[in-house]
Amino acid sequence: QVQLEESGGGLVQPGGSLRLSCAASGSVLSITAMAWYRQAPGKEREFVAAITNVDTTRYTDSVKGRFTISRDKSKNTVYLQMNSLKPEDTAVYYCKALTLSREYWGQGTQVTVSS
């Protein structure tokens, strides 16, 4: 079992920055990749960014050049640095961990971009 806890969400003005964190615990050695997803009101959950256990990264087109995913192996934590935030980035952001057998989700953290 893997447990995930997100933090770092909040209210920010357009053009501002936030850094989300996702701390993993439990069977962390079984994790092969971690990812961030988001879900805006009335919309389906969508992929944002992912990082593998060999540090390969991938982003959805709408956040390329603005968001950066990274990880601290010593802390079993993945980060999502979000810069140049736009109102359309407003959503609940979820962390996901992938193992060979299943996926795990965190509870989500709200990000609101508004003036």
81-99 confidence digits (pLDDT tens):
999 999 999 999 999 999 9
Nearest alpha-carbon partner for 17 in 113, 94, 107, 95: 113
Q: How far apart are CA 93 and CA 20, in angstroms?
A: 9
Q: For position 68, what pLDDT does the model report?
A: 98
pLDDT per position as a tens digit, 16-71: 999 999 999 999 899 999 999 999 999 999 999 999 999 999 999 999 999 999 99
Q: What is the pLDDT of residue 25?
A: 95
